[in-house]
Chain A
Amino acid sequence: MLAVPLIAAQRVSKQFGGPTGVLALDGVTLDIRPGEFVSLLGPSGCGKSTFLRCLAGLEKPTGGALTLAGAPIARPPEQLGIALQRDALLEWLDVLDNVLLPADFGGRVQQKHVDRAMELLRMVGLGEFLHHYPRALSGGMRQRVAICRALLLDPPLLLMDEPFGALDALTRDQLNVDLHRLWLARRMTVVFVTHSIVEALFLSTRVVVFSPRPGRPVDDVVLDLPEHRLLAMRETPEFGVYARRMRAQFEAMGLIHE
Protein backbone atom coordinates (compact mmCIF):
# COMPACT_ATOMS: atom_id res chain seq x y z
CA MET A 1 0.00 0.00 0.00
CA LEU A 2 1.67 3.13 -1.21
CA ALA A 3 -1.20 5.58 -0.83
CA VAL A 4 -0.31 8.82 0.96
CA PRO A 5 -1.23 8.74 4.62
CA LEU A 6 -4.51 10.35 5.65
CA ILE A 7 -3.30 10.61 9.22
CA ALA A 8 0.35 11.11 10.07
CA ALA A 9 1.50 11.10 13.70
CA GLN A 10 5.15 12.00 14.29
CA ARG A 11 6.41 11.36 17.83
CA VAL A 12 3.13 12.63 19.27
CA SER A 13 3.08 12.99 23.02
CA LYS A 14 0.50 14.27 25.47
CA GLN A 15 1.07 15.29 29.05
CA PHE A 16 -1.90 16.23 31.21
CA GLY A 17 -1.53 18.83 33.93
CA GLY A 18 1.84 20.40 33.13
CA PRO A 19 5.41 19.04 33.22
CA THR A 20 4.83 17.12 36.46
CA GLY A 21 1.46 15.70 35.36
CA VAL A 22 0.40 12.44 33.78
CA LEU A 23 2.26 11.47 30.61
CA ALA A 24 -0.49 9.74 28.62
CA LEU A 25 1.20 9.40 25.23
CA ASP A 26 4.93 9.26 24.59
CA GLY A 27 6.26 9.46 21.06
CA VAL A 28 3.48 7.91 19.02
CA THR A 29 4.57 7.58 15.42
CA LEU A 30 1.89 6.15 13.18
CA ASP A 31 0.67 6.59 9.61
CA ILE A 32 -2.87 5.67 8.64
CA ARG A 33 -3.80 5.39 4.98
CA PRO A 34 -7.20 6.08 3.44
CA GLY A 35 -9.54 3.11 3.57
CA GLU A 36 -7.74 1.35 6.41
CA PHE A 37 -9.67 0.01 9.36
CA VAL A 38 -7.14 0.40 12.16
CA SER A 39 -7.77 -0.88 15.65
CA LEU A 40 -5.82 0.60 18.53
CA LEU A 41 -5.52 -2.24 21.01
CA GLY A 42 -4.17 -1.78 24.49
CA PRO A 43 -4.84 -1.99 28.23
CA SER A 44 -7.07 0.51 30.01
CA GLY A 45 -5.41 3.81 30.76
CA CYS A 46 -2.71 3.47 28.11
CA GLY A 47 -3.79 6.59 26.25
CA LYS A 48 -5.90 5.20 23.40
CA SER A 49 -8.76 7.58 24.06
CA THR A 50 -6.33 10.45 24.41
CA PHE A 51 -4.86 9.69 21.01
CA LEU A 52 -8.32 9.47 19.47
CA ARG A 53 -9.32 12.78 21.06
CA CYS A 54 -6.22 14.35 19.55
CA LEU A 55 -7.32 13.03 16.14
CA ALA A 56 -10.78 14.50 16.71
CA GLY A 57 -9.29 17.89 17.54
CA LEU A 58 -10.74 17.73 21.05
CA GLU A 59 -7.31 17.62 22.68
CA LYS A 60 -3.99 19.12 21.59
CA PRO A 61 -0.80 17.05 21.69
CA THR A 62 1.90 18.59 23.89
CA GLY A 63 4.66 17.33 21.61
CA GLY A 64 5.27 16.06 18.09
CA ALA A 65 3.24 16.63 14.95
CA LEU A 66 -0.18 15.29 14.09
CA THR A 67 -1.64 15.95 10.64
CA LEU A 68 -4.81 15.03 8.80
CA ALA A 69 -4.50 15.10 5.00
CA GLY A 70 -1.29 17.07 5.43
CA ALA A 71 -2.72 19.81 7.68
CA PRO A 72 -2.16 20.02 11.44
CA ILE A 73 -5.28 19.22 13.48
CA ALA A 74 -6.11 22.43 15.33
CA ARG A 75 -9.87 21.95 15.74
CA PRO A 76 -12.35 19.19 14.94
CA PRO A 77 -12.00 18.37 11.25
CA GLU A 78 -14.92 18.80 8.86
CA GLN A 79 -17.03 15.75 8.13
CA LEU A 80 -15.78 13.74 11.04
CA GLY A 81 -17.69 10.68 12.15
CA ILE A 82 -17.38 9.97 15.85
CA ALA A 83 -18.84 7.40 18.25
CA LEU A 84 -17.95 7.09 21.92
CA GLN A 85 -18.34 4.35 24.52
CA ARG A 86 -21.20 6.21 26.15
CA ASP A 87 -23.58 6.58 23.23
CA ALA A 88 -24.14 10.28 24.01
CA LEU A 89 -27.61 10.26 22.49
CA LEU A 90 -29.75 13.30 23.21
CA GLU A 91 -32.65 12.02 25.31
CA TRP A 92 -35.02 14.75 24.12
CA LEU A 93 -34.69 13.91 20.42
CA ASP A 94 -36.27 10.88 18.79
CA VAL A 95 -34.08 8.31 17.03
CA LEU A 96 -34.35 9.99 13.62
CA ASP A 97 -33.48 13.45 14.93
CA ASN A 98 -30.54 12.03 16.86
CA VAL A 99 -29.16 10.55 13.66
CA LEU A 100 -29.76 13.87 11.88
CA LEU A 101 -27.80 15.84 14.46
CA PRO A 102 -24.59 16.14 12.37
CA ALA A 103 -26.59 17.65 9.49
CA ASP A 104 -28.32 20.05 11.87
CA PHE A 105 -25.04 21.15 13.47
CA GLY A 106 -23.36 21.41 10.08
CA GLY A 107 -26.00 23.78 8.76
CA ARG A 108 -29.49 22.67 7.79
CA VAL A 109 -31.24 19.34 7.64
CA GLN A 110 -32.20 18.56 4.03
CA GLN A 111 -34.39 15.86 2.57
CA LYS A 112 -31.32 13.91 1.39
CA HIS A 113 -30.13 13.77 5.00
CA VAL A 114 -33.50 12.42 6.12
CA ASP A 115 -33.42 9.77 3.38
CA ARG A 116 -29.89 8.77 4.31
CA ALA A 117 -30.77 8.59 8.01
CA MET A 118 -33.76 6.36 7.31
CA GLU A 119 -31.65 4.12 5.07
CA LEU A 120 -28.95 3.76 7.73
CA LEU A 121 -31.52 3.01 10.43
CA ARG A 122 -33.16 0.39 8.24
CA MET A 123 -29.76 -1.21 7.58
CA VAL A 124 -29.18 -1.71 11.30
CA GLY A 125 -32.73 -2.93 11.92
CA LEU A 126 -34.15 0.22 13.49
CA GLY A 127 -36.53 1.15 10.66
CA GLU A 128 -39.49 0.69 13.00
CA PHE A 129 -38.09 2.92 15.71
CA LEU A 130 -37.71 6.26 13.91
CA HIS A 131 -39.70 8.23 16.47
CA HIS A 132 -38.83 6.38 19.65
CA TYR A 133 -37.08 8.34 22.34
CA PRO A 134 -33.67 6.89 23.35
CA ARG A 135 -34.86 5.94 26.83
CA ALA A 136 -37.15 3.38 25.22
CA LEU A 137 -34.23 1.56 23.53
CA SER A 138 -31.86 -1.15 24.75
CA GLY A 139 -28.13 -0.47 25.07
CA GLY A 140 -27.43 -2.23 21.77
CA MET A 141 -30.10 -0.27 19.93
CA ARG A 142 -28.83 3.00 21.36
CA GLN A 143 -25.32 2.25 20.20
CA ARG A 144 -26.67 1.43 16.72
CA VAL A 145 -28.32 4.84 16.64
CA ALA A 146 -25.01 6.42 17.67
CA ILE A 147 -23.25 4.62 14.81
CA CYS A 148 -25.87 5.73 12.28
CA ARG A 149 -25.39 9.28 13.55
CA ALA A 150 -21.62 8.95 13.06
CA LEU A 151 -22.16 7.72 9.49
CA LEU A 152 -24.86 10.20 8.41
CA LEU A 153 -22.66 12.51 6.36
CA ASP A 154 -20.59 9.65 4.87
CA PRO A 155 -17.51 10.81 6.75
CA PRO A 156 -14.21 9.89 5.11
CA LEU A 157 -12.84 9.40 8.64
CA LEU A 158 -14.65 7.57 11.42
CA LEU A 159 -13.32 7.58 14.99
CA MET A 160 -14.75 5.07 17.46
CA ASP A 161 -13.77 4.81 21.11
CA GLU A 162 -14.77 1.42 22.54
CA PRO A 163 -18.25 1.85 21.10
CA PHE A 164 -19.31 -1.65 22.14
CA GLY A 165 -17.54 -1.73 25.50
CA ALA A 166 -20.73 -1.57 27.54
CA LEU A 167 -22.69 -4.22 25.62
CA ASP A 168 -23.28 -7.90 26.35
CA ALA A 169 -21.30 -10.41 24.27
CA LEU A 170 -24.12 -11.38 21.89
CA THR A 171 -25.14 -7.82 21.11
CA ARG A 172 -21.50 -6.97 20.68
CA ASP A 173 -21.04 -9.73 18.08
CA GLN A 174 -24.09 -8.50 16.18
CA LEU A 175 -22.87 -4.91 16.18
CA ASN A 176 -19.43 -6.05 15.02
CA VAL A 177 -21.11 -7.71 12.06
CA ASP A 178 -23.24 -4.62 11.38
CA LEU A 179 -20.26 -2.29 11.53
CA HIS A 180 -18.23 -4.56 9.26
CA ARG A 181 -21.05 -4.53 6.69
CA LEU A 182 -21.30 -0.75 6.83
CA TRP A 183 -17.55 -0.46 6.40
CA LEU A 184 -17.51 -2.86 3.42
CA ALA A 185 -20.16 -0.73 1.73
CA ARG A 186 -18.38 2.61 2.25
CA ARG A 187 -14.69 1.91 2.85
CA MET A 188 -14.15 4.97 4.98
CA THR A 189 -11.03 5.18 7.10
CA VAL A 190 -11.74 3.95 10.60
CA VAL A 191 -9.72 4.34 13.79
CA PHE A 192 -11.26 2.00 16.31
CA VAL A 193 -10.24 1.85 19.95
CA THR A 194 -10.81 -1.39 21.82
CA HIS A 195 -9.26 -3.62 24.43
CA SER A 196 -10.76 -6.77 22.95
CA ILE A 197 -8.30 -8.77 20.85
CA VAL A 198 -11.10 -10.69 19.12
CA GLU A 199 -13.03 -7.55 18.23
CA ALA A 200 -9.90 -5.85 16.88
CA LEU A 201 -9.00 -8.84 14.70
CA PHE A 202 -12.54 -9.38 13.44
CA LEU A 203 -13.05 -5.80 12.27
CA SER A 204 -9.67 -4.47 11.21
CA THR A 205 -7.35 -4.48 8.29
CA ARG A 206 -4.60 -3.50 10.70
CA VAL A 207 -4.07 -3.69 14.45
CA VAL A 208 -1.77 -1.40 16.42
CA VAL A 209 -0.93 -2.58 19.94
CA PHE A 210 -0.24 0.12 22.54
CA SER A 211 2.02 -0.26 25.56
CA PRO A 212 0.74 0.61 29.06
CA ARG A 213 1.03 4.26 30.01
CA PRO A 214 2.76 6.21 28.63
CA GLY A 215 1.16 4.76 25.51
CA ARG A 216 3.13 4.09 22.36
CA PRO A 217 2.74 1.50 19.59
CA VAL A 218 4.68 -1.68 20.36
CA ASP A 219 3.27 -3.81 17.54
CA ASP A 220 1.71 -3.01 14.20
CA VAL A 221 0.18 -5.82 12.13
CA VAL A 222 -1.51 -5.62 8.74
CA LEU A 223 -3.92 -8.55 8.85
CA ASP A 224 -3.94 -11.09 6.08
CA LEU A 225 -7.50 -12.28 6.60
CA PRO A 226 -10.45 -12.65 4.20
CA GLU A 227 -11.91 -9.36 3.04
CA HIS A 228 -15.46 -10.28 3.99
CA ARG A 229 -15.41 -11.28 7.65
CA LEU A 230 -17.77 -13.84 9.15
CA LEU A 231 -18.10 -14.61 12.84
CA ALA A 232 -16.98 -18.19 12.11
CA MET A 233 -13.67 -16.78 10.89
CA ARG A 234 -12.77 -16.29 14.53
CA GLU A 235 -12.29 -20.06 14.84
CA THR A 236 -9.89 -20.41 11.90
CA PRO A 237 -6.17 -21.20 12.46
CA GLU A 238 -5.01 -17.91 10.85
CA PHE A 239 -7.16 -15.93 13.21
CA GLY A 240 -5.79 -18.00 16.09
CA VAL A 241 -2.22 -17.18 15.10
CA TYR A 242 -2.93 -13.46 15.23
CA ALA A 243 -4.84 -13.75 18.50
CA ARG A 244 -1.95 -15.65 20.10
CA ARG A 245 0.48 -13.02 18.87
CA MET A 246 -1.57 -10.21 20.49
CA ARG A 247 -2.01 -12.18 23.69
CA ALA A 248 1.75 -12.78 23.80
CA GLN A 249 2.22 -9.00 23.60
CA PHE A 250 -0.09 -8.50 26.57
CA GLU A 251 1.71 -11.23 28.51
CA ALA A 252 5.07 -9.65 27.73
CA MET A 253 3.75 -6.36 29.10
CA GLY A 254 2.81 -8.17 32.29
CA LEU A 255 -0.90 -7.58 31.79
CA ILE A 256 -1.97 -11.23 31.73
CA HIS A 257 -0.59 -14.00 33.94
CA GLU A 258 -1.28 -17.71 33.83
Chain B
Amino acid sequence: MANKFQSIETKHYAERDAFFEGLKKLDRRAFMRVAGISAGIVAGMGKLTPNSFQLVNVAEAQGEKPKFSFAYISDTHLYENKLNDRFVRAILKAVDDVNALDPQPDFVLFGGDLAQLGQAGELKLGAQILKSVKAPIKMMVGEHDWFLDMGELWKDLFGAPNYSFDHKGVHFVVLNSIHEKDFWTERKLSPMERMKIVAGLDNGIQSRFEVGAEQRQWLQNDLAKVAKTTPVIVFSHSPLYKYYKPWNFWTDDADEVQAILKPYEKVTVIHGHTHQLLSNRIGNISFHGMLSTAWPWPYAPEGLPSLTVPMNRADPFSQFDGCGDGRMDVLESGLVDKLYNLWQRDPITVRSAYLGSGGKQSAPPKPKLPTY
Protein backbone atom coordinates (compact mmCIF):
# COMPACT_ATOMS: atom_id res chain seq x y z
CA MET B 1 0.00 0.00 0.00
CA ALA B 2 2.76 2.41 0.98
CA ASN B 3 0.30 5.21 1.71
CA LYS B 4 -0.79 5.26 -1.89
CA PHE B 5 -4.34 4.89 -0.73
CA GLN B 6 -5.56 5.82 2.68
CA SER B 7 -8.70 4.11 3.80
CA ILE B 8 -11.50 6.05 5.41
CA GLU B 9 -10.91 3.88 8.44
CA THR B 10 -7.29 4.98 8.60
CA LYS B 11 -8.37 8.59 8.32
CA HIS B 12 -10.96 8.07 11.02
CA TYR B 13 -8.38 6.63 13.38
CA ALA B 14 -5.91 9.37 12.59
CA GLU B 15 -8.56 11.93 13.45
CA ARG B 16 -9.56 10.06 16.54
CA ASP B 17 -5.97 9.75 17.71
CA ALA B 18 -5.49 13.47 17.24
CA PHE B 19 -8.67 14.11 19.16
CA PHE B 20 -7.58 12.00 22.08
CA GLU B 21 -4.12 13.51 21.99
CA GLY B 22 -5.81 16.86 22.36
CA LEU B 23 -7.91 15.58 25.22
CA LYS B 24 -4.87 14.76 27.29
CA LYS B 25 -3.95 18.43 27.36
CA LEU B 26 -7.35 19.59 28.58
CA ASP B 27 -8.55 20.23 32.07
CA ARG B 28 -11.86 18.75 33.08
CA ARG B 29 -14.00 21.74 32.11
CA ALA B 30 -12.41 21.96 28.69
CA PHE B 31 -12.78 18.19 28.38
CA MET B 32 -16.51 18.43 28.92
CA ARG B 33 -16.81 21.25 26.43
CA VAL B 34 -14.91 19.36 23.76
CA ALA B 35 -16.90 16.28 24.57
CA GLY B 36 -20.12 18.19 24.02
CA ILE B 37 -18.99 19.68 20.73
CA SER B 38 -17.59 16.50 19.30
CA ALA B 39 -20.60 14.38 19.90
CA GLY B 40 -19.90 12.17 16.89
CA ILE B 41 -16.50 11.11 18.00
CA VAL B 42 -17.57 11.08 21.59
CA ALA B 43 -19.68 8.04 20.94
CA GLY B 44 -16.40 6.24 21.34
CA MET B 45 -15.06 8.61 23.91
CA GLY B 46 -15.04 8.75 27.67
CA LYS B 47 -14.55 5.05 27.31
CA LEU B 48 -10.90 4.84 26.48
CA THR B 49 -7.77 6.29 25.07
CA PRO B 50 -7.00 4.93 21.63
CA ASN B 51 -4.46 2.29 22.53
CA SER B 52 -5.31 1.18 26.01
CA PHE B 53 -8.42 1.00 28.08
CA GLN B 54 -7.54 2.83 31.23
CA LEU B 55 -10.36 5.32 31.10
CA VAL B 56 -12.99 2.68 30.79
CA ASN B 57 -13.86 2.93 34.46
CA VAL B 58 -14.79 6.57 34.02
CA ALA B 59 -17.61 5.81 31.66
CA GLU B 60 -18.61 2.66 33.43
CA ALA B 61 -19.06 4.28 36.81
CA GLN B 62 -22.80 3.82 36.48
CA GLY B 63 -22.40 0.03 36.39
CA GLU B 64 -22.00 -2.26 39.38
CA LYS B 65 -18.64 -1.78 41.04
CA PRO B 66 -16.26 -4.64 40.33
CA LYS B 67 -14.87 -6.58 43.25
CA PHE B 68 -11.77 -7.31 41.26
CA SER B 69 -10.63 -7.57 37.66
CA PHE B 70 -8.49 -9.85 35.61
CA ALA B 71 -7.27 -9.35 32.07
CA TYR B 72 -6.74 -11.78 29.25
CA ILE B 73 -4.54 -12.35 26.24
CA SER B 74 -5.58 -15.19 23.97
CA ASP B 75 -4.98 -17.03 20.71
CA THR B 76 -1.66 -15.46 19.80
CA HIS B 77 -0.78 -18.25 17.31
CA LEU B 78 2.92 -17.48 17.33
CA TYR B 79 5.28 -18.49 14.61
CA GLU B 80 8.95 -18.01 15.23
CA ASN B 81 9.97 -14.43 14.75
CA LYS B 82 12.20 -15.19 11.77
CA LEU B 83 9.28 -16.69 9.86
CA ASN B 84 6.56 -14.23 10.79
CA ASP B 85 6.89 -11.26 13.10
CA ARG B 86 3.30 -10.11 12.66
CA PHE B 87 1.85 -12.31 15.36
CA VAL B 88 4.82 -11.55 17.60
CA ARG B 89 4.13 -7.84 17.30
CA ALA B 90 0.51 -8.54 18.17
CA ILE B 91 1.25 -10.39 21.43
CA LEU B 92 3.72 -7.65 22.39
CA LYS B 93 0.97 -5.11 21.89
CA ALA B 94 -1.31 -7.13 24.15
CA VAL B 95 1.37 -7.41 26.81
CA ASP B 96 1.80 -3.63 26.68
CA ASP B 97 -1.97 -3.26 27.07
CA VAL B 98 -2.27 -5.40 30.17
CA ASN B 99 0.87 -3.93 31.71
CA ALA B 100 -0.58 -0.45 31.20
CA LEU B 101 -3.79 -1.25 33.05
CA ASP B 102 -4.20 0.95 36.08
CA PRO B 103 -5.16 -0.44 38.46
CA GLN B 104 -3.38 -3.64 37.51
CA PRO B 105 -5.52 -6.74 37.10
CA ASP B 106 -5.28 -9.38 39.81
CA PHE B 107 -3.98 -11.79 37.19
CA VAL B 108 -3.84 -12.31 33.44
CA LEU B 109 -5.45 -15.33 31.83
CA PHE B 110 -3.72 -16.68 28.77
CA GLY B 111 -6.51 -18.27 26.75
CA GLY B 112 -4.65 -20.92 24.72
CA ASP B 113 -3.24 -21.24 21.19
CA LEU B 114 -0.01 -19.59 22.22
CA ALA B 115 1.75 -21.31 19.29
CA GLN B 116 0.59 -21.84 15.71
CA LEU B 117 2.00 -25.33 15.18
CA GLY B 118 3.04 -26.38 18.68
CA GLN B 119 6.73 -26.14 17.84
CA ALA B 120 9.40 -25.62 20.48
CA GLY B 121 10.53 -22.33 18.96
CA GLU B 122 6.98 -21.02 19.06
CA LEU B 123 6.05 -22.16 22.58
CA LYS B 124 9.36 -21.00 24.04
CA LEU B 125 9.06 -17.63 22.34
CA GLY B 126 5.59 -17.26 23.83
CA ALA B 127 6.76 -18.28 27.28
CA GLN B 128 9.56 -15.73 27.04
CA ILE B 129 7.25 -12.90 26.00
CA LEU B 130 4.66 -13.70 28.67
CA LYS B 131 7.39 -13.38 31.31
CA SER B 132 7.21 -9.63 30.82
CA VAL B 133 3.59 -9.51 31.95
CA LYS B 134 3.65 -7.77 35.33
CA ALA B 135 0.60 -9.45 36.83
CA PRO B 136 0.60 -13.19 37.58
CA ILE B 137 -0.28 -15.36 34.56
CA LYS B 138 -2.78 -18.19 34.51
CA MET B 139 -2.04 -20.44 31.54
CA MET B 140 -4.54 -22.41 29.50
CA VAL B 141 -3.76 -24.72 26.61
CA GLY B 142 -5.20 -24.62 23.08
CA GLU B 143 -5.17 -27.19 20.32
CA HIS B 144 -2.41 -25.39 18.43
CA ASP B 145 -0.15 -25.88 21.47
CA TRP B 146 -0.97 -29.52 21.94
CA PHE B 147 -1.13 -31.73 18.88
CA LEU B 148 2.49 -31.77 17.75
CA ASP B 149 3.79 -33.55 20.84
CA MET B 150 0.47 -34.09 22.66
CA GLY B 151 1.27 -31.41 25.19
CA GLU B 152 4.71 -32.61 26.26
CA LEU B 153 6.56 -29.33 25.91
CA TRP B 154 3.61 -27.21 26.97
CA LYS B 155 3.40 -29.13 30.24
CA ASP B 156 7.16 -28.77 30.72
CA LEU B 157 6.89 -25.03 30.30
CA PHE B 158 3.64 -24.26 32.06
CA GLY B 159 2.64 -27.21 34.22
CA ALA B 160 -0.60 -29.16 34.38
CA PRO B 161 -3.18 -28.11 31.75
CA ASN B 162 -6.10 -28.45 34.18
CA TYR B 163 -6.15 -27.01 37.68
CA SER B 164 -8.26 -24.92 39.99
CA PHE B 165 -7.73 -22.09 42.45
CA ASP B 166 -9.71 -19.78 44.70
CA HIS B 167 -9.46 -16.03 44.47
CA LYS B 168 -11.36 -13.46 46.52
CA GLY B 169 -14.32 -15.72 47.07
CA VAL B 170 -14.55 -17.07 43.54
CA HIS B 171 -13.66 -20.63 42.57
CA PHE B 172 -11.72 -20.77 39.30
CA VAL B 173 -11.33 -23.91 37.21
CA VAL B 174 -9.02 -24.22 34.21
CA LEU B 175 -9.79 -27.06 31.80
CA ASN B 176 -7.98 -28.70 28.95
CA SER B 177 -10.96 -28.91 26.62
CA ILE B 178 -9.14 -29.57 23.34
CA HIS B 179 -8.80 -33.34 23.59
CA GLU B 180 -9.71 -35.17 20.40
CA LYS B 181 -10.34 -38.83 19.74
CA ASP B 182 -7.45 -40.50 17.91
CA PHE B 183 -7.79 -39.85 14.18
CA TRP B 184 -4.06 -40.15 13.47
CA THR B 185 -2.88 -43.65 14.39
CA GLU B 186 -5.01 -45.47 11.86
CA ARG B 187 -4.01 -42.99 9.17
CA LYS B 188 -0.33 -43.33 10.14
CA LEU B 189 0.06 -39.56 10.35
CA SER B 190 3.28 -37.93 11.46
CA PRO B 191 3.08 -35.59 14.46
CA MET B 192 3.32 -32.56 12.15
CA GLU B 193 0.63 -33.93 9.84
CA ARG B 194 -1.60 -34.40 12.87
CA MET B 195 -0.81 -30.89 14.07
CA LYS B 196 -1.56 -29.30 10.72
CA ILE B 197 -4.89 -31.08 10.42
CA VAL B 198 -5.94 -29.83 13.85
CA ALA B 199 -4.63 -26.37 12.99
CA GLY B 200 -6.95 -26.23 9.97
CA LEU B 201 -10.23 -24.94 11.32
CA ASP B 202 -12.18 -26.27 8.35
CA ASN B 203 -10.26 -29.54 8.16
CA GLY B 204 -12.90 -32.20 8.67
CA ILE B 205 -10.44 -35.07 9.16
CA GLN B 206 -9.93 -34.24 12.82
CA SER B 207 -12.24 -35.27 15.65
CA ARG B 208 -14.29 -32.83 17.68
CA PHE B 209 -13.06 -31.28 20.93
CA GLU B 210 -13.93 -32.85 24.22
CA VAL B 211 -13.11 -32.49 27.89
CA GLY B 212 -13.14 -36.26 28.21
CA ALA B 213 -14.50 -38.61 30.86
CA GLU B 214 -11.39 -38.54 33.01
CA GLN B 215 -11.28 -34.76 33.28
CA ARG B 216 -15.01 -34.54 33.79
CA GLN B 217 -14.57 -36.80 36.80
CA TRP B 218 -11.76 -34.56 38.00
CA LEU B 219 -14.04 -31.53 37.61
CA GLN B 220 -16.80 -33.25 39.52
CA ASN B 221 -14.41 -34.05 42.38
CA ASP B 222 -12.93 -30.57 42.35
CA LEU B 223 -16.33 -28.91 42.59
CA ALA B 224 -17.58 -31.30 45.26
CA LYS B 225 -15.92 -29.21 47.95
CA VAL B 226 -17.32 -25.92 46.59
CA ALA B 227 -20.53 -24.46 48.02
CA LYS B 228 -23.34 -24.12 45.50
CA THR B 229 -23.55 -20.41 46.27
CA THR B 230 -19.88 -19.81 45.52
CA PRO B 231 -19.37 -18.12 42.17
CA VAL B 232 -17.58 -20.42 39.75
CA ILE B 233 -15.58 -19.19 36.76
CA VAL B 234 -14.41 -21.81 34.28
CA PHE B 235 -11.61 -21.21 31.78
CA SER B 236 -11.84 -23.43 28.74
CA HIS B 237 -10.24 -23.08 25.32
CA SER B 238 -13.18 -24.62 23.46
CA PRO B 239 -16.56 -22.98 24.00
CA LEU B 240 -18.06 -25.70 26.28
CA TYR B 241 -21.20 -25.57 24.20
CA LYS B 242 -22.16 -26.55 20.67
CA TYR B 243 -21.92 -23.68 18.24
CA TYR B 244 -20.68 -24.92 14.84
CA LYS B 245 -19.38 -28.42 14.43
CA PRO B 246 -17.56 -28.15 11.05
CA TRP B 247 -15.13 -25.61 12.54
CA ASN B 248 -14.83 -27.24 15.94
CA PHE B 249 -16.54 -24.26 17.54
CA TRP B 250 -17.78 -27.15 19.55
CA THR B 251 -17.26 -29.30 22.60
CA ASP B 252 -18.57 -32.78 22.05
CA ASP B 253 -19.27 -33.51 25.72
CA ALA B 254 -20.55 -30.00 26.44
CA ASP B 255 -23.86 -31.32 27.75
CA GLU B 256 -22.12 -33.51 30.30
CA VAL B 257 -19.85 -30.66 31.44
CA GLN B 258 -22.79 -28.27 31.71
CA ALA B 259 -24.62 -30.85 33.81
CA ILE B 260 -21.72 -30.85 36.28
CA LEU B 261 -21.86 -27.04 36.49
CA LYS B 262 -25.62 -26.85 36.75
CA PRO B 263 -25.99 -27.08 40.56
CA TYR B 264 -23.90 -23.93 41.03
CA GLU B 265 -25.83 -20.70 41.13
CA LYS B 266 -23.37 -18.40 39.43
CA VAL B 267 -21.28 -19.91 36.71
CA THR B 268 -19.30 -18.08 34.04
CA VAL B 269 -17.33 -19.78 31.28
CA ILE B 270 -14.56 -17.80 29.61
CA HIS B 271 -13.35 -19.48 26.43
CA GLY B 272 -10.86 -18.89 23.64
CA HIS B 273 -10.63 -20.48 20.19
CA THR B 274 -13.44 -18.58 18.46
CA HIS B 275 -11.53 -15.28 17.96
CA GLN B 276 -14.67 -13.13 18.00
CA LEU B 277 -17.20 -11.37 20.18
CA LEU B 278 -19.31 -14.24 21.38
CA SER B 279 -21.83 -14.41 24.21
CA ASN B 280 -24.18 -17.13 25.31
CA ARG B 281 -26.30 -18.15 28.22
CA ILE B 282 -27.46 -21.69 28.87
CA GLY B 283 -29.44 -22.15 32.08
CA ASN B 284 -27.38 -20.69 34.87
CA ILE B 285 -24.18 -20.51 32.83
CA SER B 286 -22.94 -17.37 31.07
CA PHE B 287 -20.40 -17.82 28.30
CA HIS B 288 -17.95 -15.27 26.94
CA GLY B 289 -15.57 -15.80 24.04
CA MET B 290 -12.22 -14.04 23.93
CA LEU B 291 -10.58 -12.07 21.17
CA SER B 292 -7.43 -13.28 19.46
CA THR B 293 -4.39 -11.08 19.03
CA ALA B 294 -3.57 -12.80 15.72
CA TRP B 295 -6.69 -12.73 13.56
CA PRO B 296 -10.48 -12.71 13.94
CA TRP B 297 -12.56 -15.65 12.74
CA PRO B 298 -15.71 -14.92 10.77
CA TYR B 299 -18.97 -15.92 12.39
CA ALA B 300 -20.04 -19.42 11.47
CA PRO B 301 -22.83 -19.74 8.90
CA GLU B 302 -25.19 -21.16 11.51
CA GLY B 303 -25.48 -21.87 15.21
CA LEU B 304 -24.62 -18.40 16.51
CA PRO B 305 -26.14 -18.05 20.00
CA SER B 306 -29.07 -15.66 19.89
CA LEU B 307 -27.66 -13.53 22.70
CA THR B 308 -24.49 -12.79 20.78
CA VAL B 309 -24.31 -9.27 19.45
CA PRO B 310 -21.78 -9.90 16.71
CA MET B 311 -18.92 -7.56 16.03
CA ASN B 312 -18.54 -5.70 12.76
CA ARG B 313 -16.66 -7.80 10.27
CA ALA B 314 -12.98 -7.00 10.22
CA ASP B 315 -11.29 -4.66 7.79
CA PRO B 316 -8.95 -6.90 5.79
CA PHE B 317 -6.72 -3.92 5.15
CA SER B 318 -5.99 -3.44 8.82
CA GLN B 319 -3.68 -5.91 10.47
CA PHE B 320 -5.13 -5.52 13.95
CA ASP B 321 -8.79 -4.89 13.22
CA GLY B 322 -11.06 -7.42 14.91
CA CYS B 323 -8.18 -8.45 17.15
CA GLY B 324 -7.50 -7.40 20.70
CA ASP B 325 -7.45 -8.45 24.31
CA GLY B 326 -9.71 -7.73 27.21
CA ARG B 327 -10.66 -7.57 30.79
CA MET B 328 -13.16 -9.29 33.03
CA ASP B 329 -14.66 -7.38 35.93
CA VAL B 330 -15.88 -9.73 38.62
CA LEU B 331 -18.75 -7.98 40.36
CA GLU B 332 -19.63 -8.19 44.05
CA SER B 333 -22.36 -10.62 43.03
CA GLY B 334 -19.73 -12.92 41.57
CA LEU B 335 -20.97 -12.34 38.02
CA VAL B 336 -18.75 -11.06 35.27
CA ASP B 337 -18.80 -8.03 32.98
CA LYS B 338 -16.65 -8.76 29.95
CA LEU B 339 -14.80 -5.96 28.22
CA TYR B 340 -13.62 -6.56 24.66
CA ASN B 341 -10.70 -4.28 24.01
CA LEU B 342 -10.81 -4.17 20.21
CA TRP B 343 -7.62 -2.62 18.96
CA GLN B 344 -8.96 -0.67 16.01
CA ARG B 345 -12.37 0.15 17.40
CA ASP B 346 -14.19 1.36 20.43
CA PRO B 347 -14.35 -1.24 23.18
CA ILE B 348 -17.50 -3.23 23.81
CA THR B 349 -18.68 -4.45 27.18
CA VAL B 350 -20.99 -7.41 27.52
CA ARG B 351 -22.51 -7.10 30.95
CA SER B 352 -23.65 -9.89 33.21
CA ALA B 353 -26.98 -8.05 33.40
CA TYR B 354 -27.37 -8.45 29.65
CA LEU B 355 -26.93 -12.20 29.70
CA GLY B 356 -28.74 -12.58 33.03
CA SER B 357 -31.82 -10.78 31.71
CA GLY B 358 -31.92 -12.87 28.56
CA GLY B 359 -30.92 -9.84 26.51
CA LYS B 360 -33.56 -7.47 27.91
CA GLN B 361 -31.15 -5.12 29.69
CA SER B 362 -27.81 -3.48 28.99
CA ALA B 363 -27.58 -4.63 25.39
CA PRO B 364 -24.18 -4.04 23.77
CA PRO B 365 -24.10 -1.83 20.66
CA LYS B 366 -25.31 -3.43 17.45
CA PRO B 367 -23.00 -4.06 14.50
CA LYS B 368 -23.18 -2.08 11.30
CA LEU B 369 -21.29 -4.56 9.11
CA PRO B 370 -22.38 -8.16 9.50
CA THR B 371 -20.16 -11.00 8.39
CA TYR B 372 -21.18 -12.97 5.36
The yes or no verdict on A and B being binding partners is: no
Which A positions have Cβ atoms within 8 angstroms of B?
Answer: none
